[in-house]
Amino acid sequence: MDVKTAFLNGDLEHAIYMEPPPGSPDYGANSVVWKLERSLYGLKQASRAWYQKAKEEFGQLGFTQCDMDHSIFIHKGPDQELCIIALYVDDLMVLSNDVNLLNQKKDELKSTFKMKDLGPIHWFLGLEITRDRSRHLISVSQTRYVSDVIEHFGFTNARPISTPIAVNFRLPRLDSPEVNVRDYQSRIGSIMYAMLGTRPDIAYVVGMLSQYLAHPGMDHLNAINRVLKYLNSTKDYKLIYDGNSSEGDFSVYCDSDWAGDSRDHRSISGYVFKIAGAAVSWSSKKQSSTALSSTEGEYMALTHAVKEAMWIQEFLYNIRFPPIFTTTILGDNQGALVLVVNLTFHAHTKHIHVRQHYIRECVEEGSIKLNYVPTADQVADVLAKGLQGIKHERFVKMMGLV
């Protein structure tokens, strides 16, 4: 559903005046100003005023704000009926396990705001959503968006490439730009939205190339062009969620590339969370401090994944997902797994920042469990470094991106 002129619904907390606009009877009168009774497009307060209004009205309709994500509102009925509103500015995604409740809440929303009912969801914020009810499958893709980006930068007829980055690829650090900075930043920003939405397979390379936004050179431009060629070869990729999976199908892979950044020798952390056979959350991020060993780098990566795991557990509980009491995280460094359960604060760990030891508390209380997975099956490896074609394609498929 779409809210018409959403920002005009917001109530203002303070008195705000504006000059009469062109075409009004008072335009040009120096002694006349208009006092706003409602929010207006262009006001700094407009977004917050609309959100506060929506939150208030959703509350009147029986919806409760989700503590873990304030853009999610949940209505719980007496007989396990459930209705969820996901709000993004003026766009609403409405979900329910009861058709009658869904229609009722839609009617209530229409009576509260001027709404446009767009019917069963097919598009949302550039994401194409397809449902195969007979096979219990939901697929999410950005084929049209990726195609538009590729066409805009002139790579529609580029030769196919199987990986977004070469193995052991390194980039130089420059003191001044060699290419058009705005053009380079535009390319990064364009593919970043695809990475955030449905393309975890380019998360590592986007993170790496984003470190050179101020002073890009030809090597950097060639690297981002390779990503665009890769996207052209894989623009039809989609995340496919399988409803036939068991309710507890919740798996987490976590990995680290020790000293993976050639500039400051910091490690790269990567994790991917899968539900119903496909990724729902992923990250490729340079660690904030230097790891002195691969074990320490993996330990810090596990802590990074644990914080996301605890958030996801609470979020799923809020929306009545089958309870997940323990999240199992799969890592391929046995030293790091032993370090977590070894409560002796010895010389190998006392220099690690105290916040990294949060993982130990979670393991002790039973909310997190760590298991070993061979490096050959470590899906998060694709989020920590560049891989060879066959291995890259295998891990991308294991993330549910096909």
180-191: pLDDT as tens digits = 999 999 999 999
Share of the chain above pLDDT 90, in %: 68
108-139: pLDDT as tens digits = 999 999 999 999 999 999 999 999 999 999 99
User: In this predicted model, which residue has the larger pLDDT, 356 or 318?
Assistant: 318
| pTM value surpassing 0.85 | yes
Report the pLDDT averaged over residues 306-334.
Answer: 87
HEC letters along the chain: CEECCHHHHCCCCCCCEECCCCCCCCCCCCCCCEECCCCCCCCCCHHHHHHHHHHHHHHHCCCEECCCCCCEEEEECCCCCEEEEEEECCEEEEEECCHHHHHHHHHHHHHHCCEECCCCCCEECCEEEEEECCCCEEEEECHHHHHHHHHHCCCCCCCCCCCCCCCCCCCCCCCCCCCCHHHHHHHHHHHHHHHHHCCHHHHHHHHHHHHHCCCCCHHHHHHHHHHHHHHHHCCCCEEEEECCCCCCCEEEEEEEECCCCCCCCCCEEEEEEEECCEEEEEEEEECCCCCCCHHHHHHHHHHHHHHHHHHHHHHHHHCCCCCCCCEEEEECCHHHHHHHHCCCCCCCCCCCCHHHHHHHHHHHHCCEEEEECCHHHCHHHHHCCCCCHHHHHHHHHHCCEC
Torsion over CA: 366, 67, 127, 153 (sign): negative
Report the pLDDT averaged over residues 276-292.
Answer: 89
Q: How confident is the model at residue 246 (pLDDT cuts 50, 70, 90)?
A: low
What pLDDT shows up at residue 348? Answer: 56
Report the pLDDT averaged over residues 359-366.
Answer: 86
What pLDDT shows up at residue 281? Answer: 96
Does residue 343 surpass a pLDDT of 60? no
Report the pLDDT averaged over residues 225-254.
Answer: 89
Does residue 292 surpass a pLDDT of 80? no
Burial track 279-309 (b if 16+ CB lie within 10 A, e otherwise): bbbbbbbbbeeebeebbbbbbbbbbbbbebb
Q: Which two tokens stand for residue 85?
A: 């509103």
The backbone region for 184, taken as left when phi is positive above 0, alpha when psi lies in -120 to 50, beta otherwise, is: alpha
Q: Which amino acid is at 381?
A: D
What pLDDT shows up at residue 321? Answer: 76
The CATH number fitting domain 245-398, selected from 3.30.1360.120, 3.90.1150.10, 3.10.20.600, 3.30.420.10: 3.30.420.10
Is residue 239 within 8 A of residue 273, CB to CB? The reply is no
What pLDDT shows up at residue 359? Answer: 85
Does residue 171 surpass a pLDDT of 70? yes
Q: Where are the domains of the chain?
A: 2-119, 141-167+179-233, 245-398
The Cα–Cα gap between 400 and 245 comes to 12
Q: Which residues are CB-contacts of 107 (< 8 A; sequence separation ≥ 6)?
A: none
Strand order in the sheet with 278-286: 278-286, 268-275, 250-257, 327-331, 368-372
371-399: pLDDT as tens digits = 999 999 999 999 999 999 999 999 999 99
Is residue 305 within 8 A of residue 363, CB to CB? The reply is no
Cα–Cα distances in Å, from 48 out to 11, 23, 333? 10, 29, 45
User: In this predicted model, which residue has the larger pLDDT, 246 or 187?
Assistant: 187
The backbone region for 253, taken as left when phi is positive above 0, alpha when psi lies in -120 to 50, beta otherwise, is: beta
Report the pLDDT averaged over residues 171-186.
Answer: 93
Is residue 83 within 8 A of residue 94, CB to CB? The reply is yes
The Cα–Cα gap between 305 and 309 comes to 6
Mean pLDDT of the chain: 90
